[in-house]
Structure 1
Amino acid sequence: MQLDGLMQSFEPARIPADAEAMRAELKAFLADALAGRPPSDRVRTWSAWDAAFSRKLSSRGWIGLTMPESLGGRGLSPFHRFVVVEELLAAGAPIAAHWIGDRQSAPLLLKFGTKAQQQAFIPRICRSEIFFCIGMSEPNSGSDLASVRSRAEKVDGGWRLNGQKIWTTYAHNADWMIALVRTSGTSEDRQKGLSQVLVDLKAPGVTVRPITLLTGEAEFSEVHFDNVFLPDDRLVGEEGNGWAQVNAELAFERSGPERIYSSLVLLDTWARGLGEAPDPRDTELLGRFTARLAALRGMSAAITTRLAEGKSPVVEAALLKDLGTELEQAIPAALADRIAADPDRPADPELLRTLRFIWHMSPVFSLRGGTREILRGMIARGMGLR
């Protein structure tokens, strides 16, 4: 992919009318479901685990939108999910429980899984009966995903898994993990010999330990595998094809509006408190952030068009994720500076609580889904620059 091809991928896209038509009902539902929740609560949208709320969404058909009706979904387009995701994040809904299964585990199984795997897992994901996490990162590997050392050895009737994953989002609450592991060769073989497997997190030999963050919350975990037996039917896709599969999975993770809206509740709370005659410095800052959000939203919609066409926009998703992360981190930093620059103006305590959470959480934004350095390497290769 050269520069011209990359630019063509971001041609303006229009959300179809039937997808937009879902917005009003969803807004009304969220206004009722989240009534009384302060911004400092709603800003936790990414890290708020609420299985009961996820089941309410499922009961209305808002999870698994793109999955076939035969597998419990609604057979709708990625644009329908785009609208739902946008509204959930804008409102600050608690989405952590169903998020990974809906966003990437179910689509991955639909693309690469066997019919038996699809029938066993996808309907239950759509009903929010089971929840998934992803096993990619490992200790001492940073963002070098190809250096995976967790190994599944072939044994009679299946595989024997040993190793460790880290920074695994909500593994301590999830039921299942799709893990990238080595099934042949060594870590020096890089992308060769990698496969994806389904791991029951309640199976013997699996130990999950939550990691406490600066916020005092435990969104991530480390997961240890000690001679965990995986039956043959736990292999996802083809043995040795794990690198291609995980890149397709990451395109789902990096491309949606969830990569630009993590600080939106904070920005909205600050903007609402500016009053009828705001400081020109505040209106300029708000305008800049609004313009950047609009541009990134347009990019995300364009990538959604590619997904709707059945393509895997890996480089485009990496570019959106890099730019989106930069904005998500810039918002709390800039707002903290603005508040500090005017110490004589009383700051709303609720705004400060909301800002505090995002400030502490924002370093994670450039880690989850791939670090800035890894993403920029992918973009450079896609543009033919390296």
Structure 2
Amino acid sequence: MSSSRPSPLVFPDVTLPESALLLRTEVRAFLDEEHARGTVLGRPDSWLAGWDDGFSRRLAGRGWVGMALPTEYGGAGRGFLERYVVIEELLAAGAPVSAHWVSDRQAGPSVLQHGSEEQRRFFLPRIAAGQCFFSIGMSEKSSGSDLASVAARAERTAGGWRLTGTKMWTGGAHVNDYAIVLARTDETGDRHAGLSQFIVDLRAPGVRIEPIRLMSGEHRFNALHLEGVDVPDGMLLGRQGDGWKQVTGELAFERSGPERYLTTFPLLVSLLRELGQRAATAEQLRQVGILTARLHSVRRLSLGVAAALDAGASPDIQAALVKDLGTRLEGALVDTVRSILPTPADPHATPGTHSELLAFALLHSPGYTLRGGTNEILRGIITRGLEQH
């Protein structure tokens, strides 16, 4: 007996509206201005490594942060497909977007969907203005992709909750304002039903941030230690016990966007620039063609998820598939570029040169298939979805 539900492998075929095409031209003109200013450096992994709050505020001034948030909360009231075009152009250019990245991608939509009216009125206009930056406190030392096993606790107090525990790989916690933290509020029943989300002030007493450095020495991630942090009742996000449902819905935003296949795109641009200065061989062009075909295919799938989100759907399984295919492509792109050109990677080379960009992409590559859920876990999600279908 076949299921009446659509297959999780079905992705909508998307044609971008004319408004999105016009918007792309506007974004490119803005990026040209920023490039002349010296803020857009064309670097890989700019959504993690490019923290520039001034750039984020200028982008917000154009209405391009919090684009999908309603106008009554300071957003632009535009759709996910228009936002997709803006994000695509920013990542392709290697723009420094990490300051507002989590706020725009996850925190804003989560507060809009689950937050109280007071939380919406306070946080959403500030997010849309590029004045409030969020981190995400999900993973722990023994709870990465298996978030249901988190050990961080939230215990009732007279005026709210007291949070204790450590969150790992909390990007930007040392420079951002708030974190949405997943913690256990009930340890007596189902481990999924006992979780809740809290908005935590990263400068509150009891918050201690310990750097986790990349191989390059960069400080991007942190261990976020919550050492008896008092959180008022008004900073419970959604309902107590709904944290698991809220966080799994949030992951569709995290796993399906252009950042899951465009992280290393600036390196491909650099490769094409290098090949344009010499007589490229047929084999080199064949390898570039394979990369381009894979990039185009994943982009179509990612656009399909954006269209589903625009329609109010929850394409969790499709998002997991996009993330798996996209992040594997990012790593393959780095390896292929190395094989096509014998240029040595050199982190000390002149910024923007092929050697320097290659080194930057290589040093960041271990994280590509890890952040947002390991690919092995994601394949389990995809398999279960297919079995249920």
C-alpha RMSD of matched pairs (Å): 2.0
What secondary structure does 2:234 align onto?
Answer: helix
CA, structure 1 residues 93+38, in 2 after alignment: closer, same or farther (shift >3 Å)?
Answer: closer
- Take 2:45 and 2:142, find their aligned partners in 1: how far apart are those partners? 29
Alignment-derived partner of residue 253 in structure 2: 252
1:385 Cα deviation after fit:
7.0
Identity across the alignment (%): 46
1:142 Cα deviation after fit:
3.5
Alignment-derived partner of residue 148 in structure 1: 150
Give the AA of the match of 1:362.
S
Alignment-derived partner of residue 326 in structure 1: 328
Note the 1:300-379 alignment, pairs <5 A.
300-340=302-342, 350-379=353-382
1:140 Cα deviation after fit:
2.5
Alignment-derived partner of residue 25 in structure 1: 26
CA, structure 1 residues 153+2, in 2 after alignment: closer, same or farther (shift >3 Å)?
Answer: farther
What secondary structure does 2:169 align onto?
Answer: strand
CA, structure 1 residues 267+310, in 2 after alignment: closer, same or farther (shift >3 Å)?
Answer: same
Deviation track 1:122-160 (CA, whole Å, cap 9, x = no partner) reads 100011111000000101233221110000001111001
Whether contact under 8 Å (2:45, 2:364) holds in the other structure is no
Stretches of structure 1 lacking an aligned partner (at least 5 in a row):
none
Alignment-derived partner of residue 64 in structure 1: 66
1:7 Cα deviation after fit:
3.1
- Take 2:146 and 2:12, find their aligned partners in 1: how far apart are those partners? 31
Note the 1:74-89 alignment, pairs <5 A.
74-89=76-91
- Take 1:30 and 1:38, find their aligned partners in 2: how far apart are those partners? 9
Whether contact under 8 Å (2:12, 2:308) holds in the other structure is no
- Take 1:11 and 1:74, find their aligned partners in 2: how far apart are those partners? 25
Stretches of structure 2 lacking an aligned partner (at least 5 in a row):
none
Whether contact under 8 Å (1:39, 1:269) holds in the other structure is no
1:238 Cα deviation after fit:
1.0
- Take 1:286 and 1:338, find their aligned partners in 2: how far apart are those partners? 9
Whether contact under 8 Å (2:31, 2:40) holds in the other structure is no
Alignment-derived partner of residue 237 in structure 1: 238
Alignment-derived partner of residue 208 in structure 1: 209
1:38 Cα deviation after fit:
9.9
Alignment-derived partner of residue 14 in structure 1: 15
Whether contact under 8 Å (1:39, 1:354) holds in the other structure is no
- Take 2:386 and 2:24, find their aligned partners in 1: how far apart are those partners? 36
- Take 1:3 and 1:38, find their aligned partners in 2: how far apart are those partners? 47
Alignment-derived partner of residue 133 in structure 1: 135
CA, structure 1 residues 76+39, in 2 after alignment: closer, same or farther (shift >3 Å)?
Answer: closer
Alignment-derived partner of residue 178 in structure 2: 176
Output the TM-score relative to the length of structure 2: 0.93
1:83 Cα deviation after fit:
0.5
- Aligned match for 1:281, one of 277, 280, 283: 283
CA, structure 1 residues 190+259, in 2 after alignment: closer, same or farther (shift >3 Å)?
Answer: same
1:24 Cα deviation after fit:
0.7
Whether contact under 8 Å (1:2, 1:383) holds in the other structure is no
Output the TM-score relative to the length of structure 1: 0.94
- Take 1:381 and 1:253, find their aligned partners in 2: how far apart are those partners? 20
1:64 Cα deviation after fit:
0.6
Whether contact under 8 Å (1:255, 1:321) holds in the other structure is yes
- Take 2:60 and 2:42, find their aligned partners in 1: how far apart are those partners? 22
- Aligned match for 1:51, one of 50, 53, 62: 53
Alignment-derived partner of residue 227 in structure 2: 226
- Take 1:19 and 1:336, find their aligned partners in 2: how far apart are those partners? 35
Whether contact under 8 Å (1:44, 1:92) holds in the other structure is yes
1:321 Cα deviation after fit:
0.3
Give the AA of the match of 2:260.
R
What secondary structure does 2:387 align onto?
Answer: coil
What secondary structure does 2:219 align onto?
Answer: coil
What secondary structure does 1:11 align onto?
Answer: coil
Deviation track 1:177-232 (CA, whole Å, cap 9, x = no partner) reads 0011100016x943120010000000000001121111111110111011111100
Whether contact under 8 Å (2:40, 2:95) holds in the other structure is no
Alignment-derived partner of residue 35 in structure 1: 36
Deviation track 1:282-332 (CA, whole Å, cap 9, x = no partner) reads 101110010011111111111111001111111000000000000001111
What secondary structure does 1:168 align onto?
Answer: coil
Whether contact under 8 Å (2:39, 2:95) holds in the other structure is no
